[in-house]
Structure 1
Amino acid sequence: MRISPKMILTTTAAIALAACSTEAPQAAVDETSVDAMADDTAPVDSGTIVDVAVGNADFSTLVTAVTAADLAATLGSEGPFTVFAPTNDAFAKVDPDTLNALLTPEKKADLTGLLTYHVVAGELKAADVVSAITNGGGTAVLTTVQGGLLKATLDGDSVILEDEAGGKSTVILTDVEASNGVIHAIDTVVMPG
């Protein structure tokens, strides 16, 4: 099944809405973490988050989901948004029957909730996420557009997202720029609680 740009935009918007820091004491962050994230950045694209997702074959499942959830207009809006976008390989880890069910009209609300759980309001570049983790004493708590929380931590040079169900995803590509925000690709779909 093919993912539409609308689906990708929704996911991006939900991730962008996450808020990040706490008043915990600042923890030391290895400068190589920031450098490593910077090395995995992607070039700037002038289109919206949806346009960028549609133009990347690795996000075809996400685009299909965004389309099924009617989120393309939302994710194509002014923003800015930060989207933690699952790749096709990330969606391949989801049970096929569950994924197929989510793409039906009857499960549109559930699909919308799942996709917006990947979007945070505002633009959080990789350096911003690392800074939030540092300022949060090793953990940044992000509030998603869906209303749930994601915890971001560092594991060596990698940013790890932990969902409300305890599942973990690794950010594998950072700072894919769009006219209305930024996309960070992740290797596993995160699930709201």
Structure 2
Amino acid sequence: MKTKTIFLMIVMALAINAGCLFSPRDAEEPGEDTDPWTVPLVPKDVFINLSSGFRASANSNYERSLGDEFEFIARPVDWPDFVAWSKDDEITFLDRLKGDYLGERTIRFGDEFGIFTDKQDIGTDVWYEGEYLITLDPGDGADPDIFAGIARFYLVKGSVGWVMIGWDDLDVSSDEYPTATFLRKTFQ
């Protein structure tokens, strides 16, 4: 019995002493380019993911938020000879845009409160119509470039959640800023 007690005391002393050899590492600071993914359980989650993917240096959230059949439909006044614009075109555009605008990039869907002027919900198909605002900082001290307009955004529910399948650029929201169509035409 005495031997068991001494053995247990030695084991406990070693265990306590070993605990002093290891210390937890400091938590990592969140990076500027974190790309948090919100599982798109409801349609508006798609806008959250598109915004974070637009902001981050990686395109993963933006790309994951677009359905394979995604189509951008240009505003005819801004791009009369527009041809079809697919998901691949959209990702290529985004790569080019991020290469030119190294500062902060933001995209807002809906008004300043995320509210749209119109919506139609038909089960697994939804569209929202309203404002968008794109702000692009070139990162060189110059003023940011701003693009704004009114669009209809088409979303469908797939096997892994909601995705956007269409962006129809309808109108300007102000004569002050060019539209997303103009921006895409610039990077074609």
TM-score (ref. length: structure 2): 0.28
Q: Whose helix proportion is higher, 1 or 2?
A: 1
TM-score (ref. length: structure 1): 0.28
Q: Which protein has greater RCO, CA pairs closer than 8 Å, 6+ apart?
A: 1
Q: Whose strand proportion is higher, 1 or 2?
A: 2
